[in-house]
Chain A
């Protein structure tokens, strides 16, 4: 842009004398509180690179443009206090007393256009279908290993592989009933899969509570927008759980198994139990007799048919897994093996959400379904593969290196932000345990306008849709959008100071036509090195 030239985003502006401020003509440009907003070279969910609002955000821009920072501050405080009084909190321990904090909530929703969502949805259904087939395969014939698609050491060497369950048939052949797949968008707006959480993914309660909070704070927004509702999630989850009841029991007793009130996700466990109208139990509430699981009630023992467990495999049954666990139920695994109780998710699903296994998911999709993956993986290097390992060790400063078995943002090296010592430590770790690490280029995650410190600024986001697998695979429209609230940060995990925002998927008929981002299917063009 040469001197004197009007910048692109100002060309369509007019000055409204009555309002005393500039207003955009359609297509709208940044205005009101967004005037100083910078897209900043990233893929922005709301504006294109010229500062033009994307069509499905136009109404939202109109509404927010009229607002003053003070009004947003007020709404922010309102939302925060409602979260606090409802106890939608997680506990942070410092000193001898736990402090309860709310999960930071951002007022500006993320909007997904209907067409875009349709694509994401198809991709997720395809992915979970393949993952469940993979799990069935690895616990039976291991065809995928025999045919050389996935190396033996990836499957049988996975930390969460449970050889004890080889040959065991889980109810209805479903392994992962609830999958939280993390998606990101790259600098071209392509959706990529970052990881699959196929053990006990959490966060869905925030998705549902965020919607409640938005409705409370912006009651007018929803009627105009045609936002697809999310509140049927608990009922769909219950249907999934009932579907796997032993002996097709038409009226099974279903319970949520929680580690207890000191667990950071306890709010969610109790929330889901309440919304489904079922009991929440701790290990101490259950007892196994004659290979059946019972709850201890005031009227004696009552048999439990299905358990939605929010405890990892390791802690489920001290007789089989960790002996020191007091969270689980002695004998539970035996009852499970006898087919007298169903578990969601099944035992041993961790082999599928291992980050080394993730590397092979596109191959899995081709192998089991004969299809091309609809949602590509982020470009990934597996240190167990020699050429990849060489690349990782040579480019460590530019890569994100992840331990294959950790989650929640732990066991991770962000190369460009790491000290020499940290890089060296990971280098040694990769050399010592090639099976244990993967690396990915630093992706410039898309950004979404967020209200931070009195201003609207772009913050990096991801998306975790919750995919349910019962009679069929279903997904509530949207998911949990996590936001890296810290300026410039790429880490969105709640345990690392991230927040979240409401995620809207629009009804098709209410939606202006939208130019689709390029949906490239190849890995190399859909991710960038930072």
Chain B
């Protein structure tokens, strides 16, 4: 497979996953806002600031908007073209990548993504967003799910597919770690205790942001505690958005790409990914909190960045070469 194609497949699915995460995060936080009693400017800011912080987009945001409120954060993360991580930028980038590999992916995948892109650029999308934001975000999430389903069912599960999987799960592991990290940035309102009502609502929101509340409740009947939520989202072996699950599937895709046996690690990306997988496999929630939740998540994100860079270096080294020559 051409290196350029591999690179595009990988980024294509990262961008779609990113748009989906944004949609879910915004949807949940918007709903949560509706529960806020007597929301004043401060509490609104306190509500949205952590979302921006977790995405590390605060700096750009502040150059574009005066203050943090629901409208500006939602606009920034949904339709702002100057924000490379907004939903519209992510879908556009995904589509641009898909366009360069159209002959490699199935027509069904391309057409679906193209329609989603065209929809987002219409006035129709704008009005859906204004009038029924919940449905609007649902349609983005559904659009991403549909894309995964179409991909699964129509594309050969070969190297291109493996790059798509590697990108998707790497982005997802990163997203879940960031969503969980939102909680770190939340300052509890004065007078509110850890484990109190507000705290509980916030942890539930974290779960919802990963579409994990229902799955979680089936396992920890009724108990929503910081400890348990973190354990679930980091370590659960079979929930498809947990870090452990995502890292596991990313690792499998990377191994398939390398095509090496179970025992050796001839390629550096494979070694790093295996290392992360093993460390998540053997982690306990106690060990995570010992390091500190935020620190643990931060470290995980750094390791993912390192894996991404090594993947690119191993399989797409030419592309850097071209870039530096240009």
Contact = CB atoms under 8 A, between A and B. Distances in A.
B326 interface: yes
Given A284-B322, A296-B318, A87 B4 contact: no
Given A87-B99, A261-B99, A284-B322, A296 B118 contact: no
A284 to B, nearest CB: 5
A326 interface: yes
Contacts of A279: 2, 5, 103
Interface in A280-295: 280-282, 284-285, 287, 295
Main secondary structure of the interface of A (DSSP, over half): mixed
A343 to B, nearest CB: 19
Contacts of B115: 85
B221 interface: no
Contacts of A87: 99, 102, 110-111, 114
A270 B2 contact: no
Contact of B2 (A85, A86, A271, A281): A281
Nearest to A276: B103
A39 B26 CA distance: 61
Interface residues of B, number: 25
A284 B325 CA distance: 10
- Which of A86, A270, A297 has the most B CB atoms < 10 Å from its CB? A297
Main secondary structure of the interface of B (DSSP, over half): helix
B96 interface: yes
A296 B4 contact: yes
Interface string B208-252: 000000000000000000000000000000000000000000000
Contacts of B319: 284
B111 A261 contact: no
A87 B108 CA distance: 12
Interface in B254-294: 257
Contact of A298 (B99, B118, B257): B257
Interface residues of A, number: 23
B96 A285 contact: no
A92 interface: no
B103 A285 contact: no
A297 B3 contact: yes
Interface string B1-31: 1111110000000000000000000000000
B99 A297 contact: no
Nearest to A278: B103
B111 A85 contact: yes
A274 B103 contact: yes
Contacts of B2: 279, 281, 285, 295-298
Nearest to B258: A298
B69 interface: no
Contacts of A514: none
A280 to B, nearest CB: 5
Interface in A78-114: 84-87
Nearest to A269: B103
Contact of A85 (B4, B114, B159, B326): B114
Nearest to B96: A261
A406 B267 CA distance: 52
Given A86-B107, A261-B100, A270-B102, A298 B1 contact: yes
27 contacts: A86-B107, A86-B110, A87-B102, A87-B114, A261-B96, A261-B99, A261-B100, A266-B99, A270-B102, A271-B102, A274-B103, A274-B107, A279-B2, A279-B5, A282-B4, A284-B4, A284-B318, A284-B319, A285-B3, A287-B318, A296-B2, A296-B4, A297-B1, A297-B2, A298-B1, A298-B257, A298-B316
Given A274-B103, A287-B318, 5 more contacts: A84-B118, A86-B110, A261-B100, A296-B2, A298-B6
